[in-house]
Structure 1
């Protein structure tokens, strides 16, 4: 489905991307819009209104929004719809700290252990992230980025770790991401996934951990609209 979702001021949001069901497609498009700041924190959106923008019935949209509420991305507002949850700067810093503490050591453990099949799959995802950045397709970029990071954590073999990071990612807001579309910074951060795979394949544990920590730090830098040194 190629219909674009738009905000009240008609700024384009992510198109519905391929997924396993219509509800999943709607959910991922809305999640990408929330994370990137295209659906601002504090605003209330109704299922019928969103359904009209997508050109679908209200049922899959309502189901998607209820699932997003479980993920902590929206709150249910009785008789009105769903309010996008806010994340303060302090909360965002705390999320980044925890992710760095968890994901840095995780990739260190994976250094030199991945099979050829694992590396091939991850490279496909990393290349999809780069294409999304190059084409300015935020939904594609964010979906591939999420899958890449969570796939790495699955390979560690600790699903509790995977679930914790998945929850933290749902709470993250990348409000500067829209302004980075088709910029050198977005493409540079995308290429870091390929760099990480090279380090993992080479067994460079220390470098893997440092790169992952720096990469996650973009949440408070480039992806928040802030300069980085």
Structure 2
């Protein structure tokens, strides 16, 4: 990924990690198009930052189809898609009512990336130096007790990234997986002020530095996430699971 000259579409970049990366990619020289559901927010971000914007709902197959067609029509040079949209919510499988939450997470975090890749992959195969960027989580490797479907959805994203990378090898399309730790965003209530979470700007700066240092990287791992990502390799998985669930305030729910 050449962040100094790519044309990048980022669905889910109206806030949080997506917006932070969009701003930094633009500053490095990329042309950035962002996608989201709220037209008034898209309009404001376009005015403030000069982003291209496209309205889409990543839980809606028709919306993804229409948005991808619009992106390719208006920016035919687009050669990178960052699959940023995702949700996280606690659920308790010991009680009734968890299924609606679980299905909503799967629709956004699993079906969303699948449908977005399906919508763009043929176009990307025809573009030089194309990139699909997925976003998983350290919780793909170590579970947080209150969020089982979120954890599983990010494990899915990790293995999907590994698998389609093999299929697209030789096709001119790289697959890069960004693996965040807990970051100070509004993904969960109170997380934006959680002192144990990584500050958003610090995370985004480190991601951009890693992309600049190794444009051919397959996995973008900030230092803070390695505690989770390599727990099983180090042989201290059980201890890491215990630590994460003892220290994260959401695990007390």
For normalisation by structure 2, the TM-score amounts to 0.31
For normalisation by structure 1, the TM-score amounts to 0.34
